[in-house]
C-alpha cells in the first residue's frame, strides 16, 4: 500500500473513529484510482485534474452506477484535502471535478401493519432465536438505530430506567435515542443472568458481540416467517420505517435529525415526501374548497 494512503487511513481511524469496513472501502477506492493512474504514467499523489477526470470517466464507461462513482470521487476529495493539509501538495486537483447526478431515491419503509407482523412472526422463530429476533426488530423500529449501532450496544443500557439511552454512532459521536418500555422488556428477555456480558447481544466471535451478518440473517428468517419479501426487511428499512412513521404522526424534521444522528439537516430532508403527503391529506380533509363536488347553494336538494 502507498505510504500516503496508509497515512490517510490512519488519520481517518484516529481522528474520525472510522470503522474497519469504512477504512477498507476507502483503501479499495484509492488503490483502484492509483492503479488506473499508474497505467497512464501518473501517481495518485501527483495526479492532475485531467488524470482524475479520465479515471472518473472510465468508471462510467465501465458501467458503474452514479452512486459508486460519486463515492469514489468523495474518497479522492478527502484524500487530496488531507495531502494539502499535510503540506504534501499545494493544490487540490478534485476541486473542479463534478460529481455525477444522482437519482432521487425515497426510503423503502415498511407499513406499520407490516412491522407489527414482522415482530410477531420473529417471536415464533425456533429456539432462542425467536426472542432475540423479536427484541432486535423491536429496538430497530422504536429507536431508529443503524445496524452497527445496534449490535454493539452495551448491556449497561438496561440498568437505566430512562426512556432515552446514549448510543455511539458514526465518527464516535454520541446521541440519545428512545428505548420504549416494550422494547426494554423484549431486551431483558434475551439476557442470561448466568452468562453476564458487557454486550447487549453477546457472541463467541472476535468482537464479543453479534455481527451485522447474523443480524441480517435473523431479519431474513423473521421476514419469511411473516410472509414478507426478505429483500424489503433490512436494518436500514426498519430505520427508515422509524423515521417515516414518526413524521407521518406529527414529528418535525429537526427532531428527527437529532434522533437519527444526521450531521446535516439536508440528509434528513429525504423524508420530506412524508411531510408533503401529510400536508396534502390535511388540505383535502379540512379545506372547504377541497371537496371534489362542491354544492351550489342554488341547486335543489337531492330527491
| 126: annotated active-site residue | no
What angle (nearest 5°) sits at the alpha carbon of residue 251, between those of residues 245 and 255? Answer: 115
| 170: annotated active-site residue | yes
- 8 A C-beta contact, residue 130 and residue 122: yes
Kindly report the backbone phi and psi dihedral angles of residue 154, in degrees, each rounded to the nearest multiple of 5, phi listed first.
-80, 150
Find the catalytic residue in 124, 236, 254, 280. Answer: 236
| 124: annotated active-site residue | no
Find the catalytic residue in 26, 55, 141, 271. Answer: 271
Find the catalytic residue in 170, 175, 220, 273. Answer: 170
- How far is Cα 167 from Cα 181, in angstroms, rounded to an integer? 17
Residue 88 C-alpha cell reads as 504534501
Residue 264 C-alpha cell reads as 446535516
Find the catalytic residue in 72, 184, 239, 240. Answer: 239
| 236: annotated active-site residue | yes
| 212: annotated active-site residue | no
- How far is Cα 211 from Cα 205, in angstroms, rounded to an integer? 8
Residue 90 C-alpha cell reads as 499545494
What are the residues facing 292 on neighbouring strands? none
Nearest to 47 by CA among 63, 32, 33: 33
DSSP string, 139-199: HHHHH---HHHHHT-BGGGGG---SEEEEE-GGG-EEEEE--HHHHHHHHTT--TTS--SB
Find the catalytic residue in 146, 184, 209, 240. Answer: 146
Nearest to 137 by CA among 271, 205, 228: 228
Kindly report the backbone phi and psi dihedral angles of residue 26, in degrees, each rounded to the nearest multiple of 5, phi listed first.
-60, -45
Q: What's the Cα-to-Cα distance from 130 to each of 20, 25, 114, 218, rounded to whole Å?
A: 30, 34, 17, 9
Positions marked catalytic: 146, 170, 236, 239, 262, 271
Amino acid at each position: 500500500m502507498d505510504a500516503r494512503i496508509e497515512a490517510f487511513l490512519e488519520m481517518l481511524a484516529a481522528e474520525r473513529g472510522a470503522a474497519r469496513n469504512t477504512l477498507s472501502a476507502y483503501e479499495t477506492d484509492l488503490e483502484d484510482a492509483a492503479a488506473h493512474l499508474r497505467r497512464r504514467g501518473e501517481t495518485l499523489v501527483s495526479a492532475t485534474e485531467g488524470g482524475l477526470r479520465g479515471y472518473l470517466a472510465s468508471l462510467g464507461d465501465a458501467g458503474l452506477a452514479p452512486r459508486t462513482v460519486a463515492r469514489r470521487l468523495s474518497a479522492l476529495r478527502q484524500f487530496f484535502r488531507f495531502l494539502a493539509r499535510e503540506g504534501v501538495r499545494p493544490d487540490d486537483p478534485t476541486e473542479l471535478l463534478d460529481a455525477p447526478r444522482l437519482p432521487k431515491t425515497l426510503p423503502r419503509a415498511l407499513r406499520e401493519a407490516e412491522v407489527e407482523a414482522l415482530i410477531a412472526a420473529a417471536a415464533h422463530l425456533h429456539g432462542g432465536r425467536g426472542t432475540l429476533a423479536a427484541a432486535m426488530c423491536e429496538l430497530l423500529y422504536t429507536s431508529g438505530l443503524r445496524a452497527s449501532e445496534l449490535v454493539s450496544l452495551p448491556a449497561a443500557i438496561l440498568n437505566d430506567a430512562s426512556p432515552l439511552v446514549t448510543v455511539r454512532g458514526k465518527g464516535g459521536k454520541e446521541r440519545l435515542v428512545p428505548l420504549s418500555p416494550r422494547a426494554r422488556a423484549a431486551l431483558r428477555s434475551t439476557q442470561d443472568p448466568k452468562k453476564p456480558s458487557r454486550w447487549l447481544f453477546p457472541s463467541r466471535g472476535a468482537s464479543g458481540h453479534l455481527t451485522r451478518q447474523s443480524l441480517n440473517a435473523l431479519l431474513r428468517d423473521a421476514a419469511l416467517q411473516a410472509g414478507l419479501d426478505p429483500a424489503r426487511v433490512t436494518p436500514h428499512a426498519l430505520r427508515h420505517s422509524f423515521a417515516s412513521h414518526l413524521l407521518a404522526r406529527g414529528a418535525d424534521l429537526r427532531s428527527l435529525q437529532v434522533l437519527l444522528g444526521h450531521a446535516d439537516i439536508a440528509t434528513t430532508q429525504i423524508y420530506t415526501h412524508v411531510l408533503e403527503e401529510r400536508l396534502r391529506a390535511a388540505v383535502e380533509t379540512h379545506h372547504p374548497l377541497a371537496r371534489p363536488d362542491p354544492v351550489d347553494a342554488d341547486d335543489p336538494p337531492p330527491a
